[in-house]
Amino acid sequence: MEPGSHGGAPHYRENNGFKVPKDMSPASEKIARSEAERIEPVLKRLWKNGVWDPKSVRAALLQLGYRNEGPDSEQGRGTLFVEDMGTRLGLTDTHPVRPEGARIALRVRHDACVTAFTQPTNYQVTVNGRFLETGCFEPRGGH
């Protein structure tokens, strides 16, 4: 069985390689973890107050000094991207649903990101390298 093959599915790692983020340098990872520590309390406060719409989340995070969506740069605190949760198929049928909440990505450096989400049930903040095709956000589907 192939390591990490999720129960032995043939070619799992090969077919899902696009979902593996690039490595971060130690310096970039340290900076990203520091930014994640700044973001987490803001998302926690918003979540406790029942606020998870992208517009409100973006406004709260921009107060931390991030740049609104734009070109990559090594200057400043990072470039912020906030969007809705996107559509996906429902669990019980094939009709698309759009869950409440916001997906967040902060480009900290060329190789490091803070990614997060907040929604009615929970919130989460993580640190990862960039994805080859989608930047900070994990790709949703394959080719």
CB atoms < 10 A from the CB of 128, how many? 19
Q: Would 63 be classed as within a structural domain?
A: yes
In 1-143, DSSP assigns E strands to 67-68, 79-84, 88-89, 96-97, 102-109, 112-118, 123-128
Q: What is the pLDDT of residue 77?
A: 62
Let me know if residue 18 belongs to a domain: no
> Would you say residue 76 lies in a domain?
yes
How big is the chain by its Cα radius of gyration, in Å?
A: 16
The answer to whether residue 4 sits within a structural domain is no
CB 118 within 8 A of CB 9: no
pLDDT at 12: 54
Mean pLDDT by 10 residues, the chain (143 residues): 54 54 83 95 97 94 83 59 76 71 91 93 93 73 52
How far is residue 10's CA from residue 7's CA, in Å, rounded to a whole number?
Answer: 9
Is residue 143 included in any domain, yes or no? no
Quote the number of domains for the chain: 1
- Does residue 15 fall inside a structural domain? no
Structural domain contains residue 77:
yes
The pLDDT score that the predictor gives to residue 68 is 80
The answer to whether position 14 is within a domain reads no
Give the predicted TM-score (pTM) of the model.
0.74
What integer pLDDT is reported at residue 23 of this predicted model?
74
Range of the domain at 122: 35-128
Rounded Cα distance between 116 and 95, Å, is 26
